[in-house]
Amino acid sequence: MESVTIDTATGTETTNGYSCITPGTPNAVTPEGEPVVITVTRSDFAELPVQPLSAHAGPDEGWLPVNMVNVLHADPTTQTLDTELLGVPVQVRAIPIEYHWDLGDGNTITTKKPGKPYPSEQVSATYTQEGWYDITLTTTFAGQFSVDGGEWQDIDGTIEIASDPVPLFSKSLESRLVTQEGWYDITLTTTFAGQFSVDGGEWQDIDGTIEIASDPVPLFSKSLESRLVNPDIPIDEEGDPWIPARTPDAEGPRDPAATHREL
C-alpha cells in the first residue's frame, strides 16, 4: 500500500512510498478512501500538554550559606498522554532524557542525570556571593506513540519544557568557631604572681602563684549547616538568620567566573 504521513498541525501530506502493512496495523483513510498510516510528528508532540518536571534545589528553608553545596534534582517521571489523530485513539509517552539547569548567576549545567536528594551531590553547584537567585530547570523529552493499542514507535525529534523557577537566597555567614552545636560555658582562670613590700620597703617576690576563676560566660554555638540539611534539628528562632525581602537591591550578582558544565 502507499504510505502517507499527515502533519495535523500544518495539514501537509508527505508521501512515503509503498510498503507492506501487516494484518492489524492501525490506519485511517483520507476523504478519498486512501489508507493513511498514522504518525505522530514532533509538532504534534509539542502541542500535547506535557507537564514540566518538579525541580528541587537547595534546602526546603529556601536559603543556604555561600559556598555550601546546592543539591539539584528532578523527578524523572515518564508521562503518558491520550490523544486522537484522524479519529483514531493514540497514546503518547513523554520521556525525560536531558536536564539543563540555569543557576541564575551565569553558571549552567547540562546532564542526562536527574540528580538525587541530599546527601547525594550527583548534580550540584555552589554560589560564591550573597543574594537572591532563580534556579530554572529545562527538561528535554523524547517521545513515543502507540496507535490504538499497537506497538510503541519513536517520535522523530524532541521537545523542551521549562519548570517553574526555584528561588533561593545565598547567605554570607561567618565561620563557625566550633564543630559541635550546643551550649558552652566559657570560663577564664587567671594565674596571679605576688609581690610584697614591708613598711614601704622594696618589693619582694612571693614564692608561688594563685589561680582565680571568673564567672562563666554562657554561649550557644549554632551549627547552621546541620540545621539546614537535618530535619531533626529544630528551627527555634524566627527570622534567624535574617533573610531580606526580595527586591532589586537584594538580587545576587553574576559570577565573574561562570561556566557551563556537562555532567
Q: Residue 116 belongs to a domain with what CATH number?
A: 2.60.40.10
- 98, burial (CB in 10 Å: exposed 0-12, middle 13-18, buried 19+): middle
Same domain, 39 and 88: yes
Residues 156 and 198 in one domain: no
CB 68 within 8 A of CB 225: yes
Is the same domain home to 62 and 139?
yes
Q: Cell numbers 507492506 label which residue?
A: 20
Residue that is last in its domain, among 154, 173, 192: 173
- Asked if residue 245 belongs to a domain, the reply is no
Q: Is the same domain home to 181 and 158?
A: no
pTM of the model: 0.66
Structural domain boundaries, residue 44 = 2-173
**Same domain for 37 and 60?**
yes
Same domain for 128 and 212, yes or no, is no
Total number of domains in the chain: 2
Mean pLDDT of the 13-33 span: 49
Average pLDDT for residues 2-24, to the nearest whole number? 49
C-alpha to C-alpha distance for 58 and 244, rounded to whole angstroms:
17
Verify cis geometry, omega within 30 degrees of 0, for the bond prior to 241. yes
Is 114 a member of any domain?
A: yes
Whether residue 119 sits in one domain with residue 59: yes
Are residues 199 and 151 located together in one domain of the fold?
Answer: no
pLDDT digits (tens, 9 = 90+) for 212-260: 999 999 887 765 554 444 444 444 445 556 788 899 999 999 999 999 9
94 located within any domain: yes
| Torsion angles phi and psi, residue 164, rounded to 5 | -65, 140
Task: Give me the pLDDT at residue 72, please.
Answer: 96
- Do 50 and 164 lie in a common domain? yes
Is residue 92, in this structure, part of any structural domain at all?
yes
Last residue of a domain, one of 148, 173, 198: 173
Task: Tell me the chain's radius of gyration from C-alpha atoms.
Answer: 33
- On the 0-12 / 13-18 / 19+ scale of CB atoms within 10 A, 4 is middle
pLDDT tens track for 98-131: 999 999 999 999 999 999 998 889 999 999 999 9
Inside any domain, residue 240: no
Q: Is the pLDDT of residue 6 over 60?
A: no
> Same structural domain for residues 189 and 120?
no
Strands (E), 86-130: 88-102, 108-111, 124-125
Q: Is residue 67 part of a domain?
A: yes
25-67 per-position pLDDT tens digit: 445 555 555 667 888 999 999 999 999 999 999 888 889 999 9
